[in-house]
Structure 1
Amino acid sequence: MNTTTLSVPHSRNGKQSNIPIVIDYLDDKKKSDTAIVLTHGASGDYSTGYLPLLARVLAERGYTVVRCTLVTTVINVRINAMKAVLAYLFNDQEEKAVDPAVATLRSSTSRVYIGGHSFGARVIVSIGDELKDDTESPNAKKSAGSNVKSDNSASVDEAFKNKIHGIITFSYPLHPPGKPSELRDQILFDLPEATKLLMISGTKDPFGELPLMTKTQNKIKCSLTAVRIAKAGHSLSTGKSKKTAKDTGRTQEETIYYWMAQRIEEWIKKADEGVPGEKRKRNSQKIFELIEVAVANDTFKITRA
């Protein structure tokens, strides 16, 4: 597997503020046509938590995986920084000199999935709100998330807009811990009806009490696959045990993250049934899954219901 680290040119308030990214991909003559872009939560960077492991496993499965570090906690600023990353990587009309890995991304990628953890999930959902097209009903909202006001006119670049094929949220922060009345639900409701959305969260996440999360997800108008990991918290970990499975050598935490990569791949294959660039279709189907990890005979067994 190859790894390329570079900086995306970006300016903020007239000052250069380049964005660090890392690209993981297989050294394969057959270039992947599907890329996954991931970002972290309010703190940390592209090496935080499960992101490196998840990226490596997805790359080993044939996807090009990009992780980016977005340091600001001002949501509108971070949204625009994420847009800058997407434009730089996937606008094949861009004329700036680029790294060979970026040149390959621009020429070979027809499908892009964007994902974020916690605060990063709010960012990518806000970007998803802008993917309006003519599949929208006349009464659909035209704003990019009614509770997020942009501080400039930056919008999703038309040159790569149709490449964005789906959205993945990890531990979406529906509300602050202990404050279930302060819901951050409107940007989820504002997602276009043709959006393909995968939400992965833990049943013990203090940022998303399960009854409220379920109620909110049932109101989302786009296609949704909601995966709940039993006993997992905001980090999606079910514990800090270092015990390893006899068959795989992985800890319980690593077992979950490997399974997450497998479930993401399964979801992407289903989402990829459409033709790249074609008009997206409305689909309000909802799938709810509960994932449990059991220990038996020194192995970790994952069950899905």
Structure 2
Amino acid sequence: MNKPFARMLLTHGAGAGISSEFMQDLARALGEQGILVELFNFAYMAEQEATGKKRPPSRMPVLLQELDVAISLLPQDLPLIIGGKSMGGRAATMLLDSCKAAAAIAYGYPFHPPGKPEKLRTDHLQTLHKPLLIIQGERDTFGNATEIVNYALSANVQTAILSAADHSFKPPKRSGLTQAQHILQAAQLSAAFLRKQLCI
């Protein structure tokens, strides 16, 4: 593991919490790139994991408040980054400009609900002042590579596409690629982006 150069508060998507294989693999890969990861479960997910009973996500204002509190409790010994998978990434981007984080990374941003490309969740991304990297699967049903190029986004928003990957970075077998390769690539892209933004 490289010596940490940044600390990331990393949270999950709507359906699976920080104990999921994806989140654990991503956190491990980021750590190997020198990003110290603090995994964070929203309250509804913590209860779901504790009881085994499925719960719907809390509304976004509640999620943002929980995330803001979690950010405030982190030590400030390293530059702070916020990030998340899908819903968690969206929450991070919505909080970015108003919190002490230097930048954010979204892993599979939910640009729109699957099958409803007209219901965009991009308004705040048009005016973002801090750096954001969105790492998106080429075949993501929440916003694929073809759709993304047409979105009006702030100049502070960068996007990176994972070849043939879906919303969870899984490619079809015929591609010859693997989810593990994409998670590693996502971690490498994250580190390169942050080193550039932090001038390291």
1:273–1:75 distance in 2 versus 1, CA, 3 Å: same
- Higher RCO, 1 or 2 (CA under 8 Å, sep at least 6)? 2
Q: Tell me: CA distance 1:212–1:259, structure 2 relative to 1, closer, same or farther (3 Å).
A: closer
**8 A contact 1:239–1:253 mirrored in 2:** no
Asked if structure 2 preserves the Cα contact closer than 8 Å seen for 1:42 and 1:73, the reply is no
Q: SS at 2:102's partner residue?
A: strand
Q: Which has the higher strand share?
A: 1
* Count of aligned pairs between the two proteins: 186
State the TM-score, normalized to the length of structure 2: 0.83
Is 2:77 the counterpart of 1:108?
yes
Between the aligned partners of 1:209 and 1:259, the Cα distance in structure 2 is 18
Q: Which stretch of structure 1 is more off in the superposition, 265-274 or 171-180?
A: 265-274
Match of 2:12 in 1: 40
1:263-302: CA deviations, max 9, x gaps? 211111111118xxxxxxxxxxxxxxxxxxxxxxxxxxxx
1:66 partner amino acid:
E
**CA shift digits 1:46-80 (9 cap, x unpaired):** 12242211211222333311111113331110111
| 1:141 alignment partner in structure 2 | none
- 1:236-275 alignment runs, 5 A limit: 236-239=169-172, 252-273=178-199
How many Å separate the matches in 1 of 2:138 and 2:173?
Answer: 17
Q: Deviations over 1:115-158 (max 9, x none)?
A: 1111112101110142xxxxxxxxxxxxxxxxxxxxxxxxx4xx
Structure 1 length as normaliser, TM-score? 0.56
Q: Which runs of 5+ in 1 are unaligned?
A: 2-25, 90-105, 131-155, 244-250, 275-305
In our comparison, the structure showing a higher alpha carbon Rg is 1
Deviations 1:227-283 (A, max 9, x none): 111211111111369x9xxxxxxx822122112211211111111118xxxxxxxxx
1:225 equivalent in alignment to 2:158 = yes
Contact 2:134 2:157 in 1 (8 A): yes
Q: Is the 8 A contact 2:128 2:157 kept in 1?
A: no
1:85 pairs, out of 67, 70, 79, with 70
Q: CA deviation at 1:199?
A: 0.7
CA distance in 2, matches of 1:84, 1:55: 21
Unmatched segments (≥5 aa) in structure 2: 45-56
Aligned partner (choices 85, 92, 104) of residue 124 of structure 1: 92
Larger helix percent: 2
1:171 counterpart residue number: 108
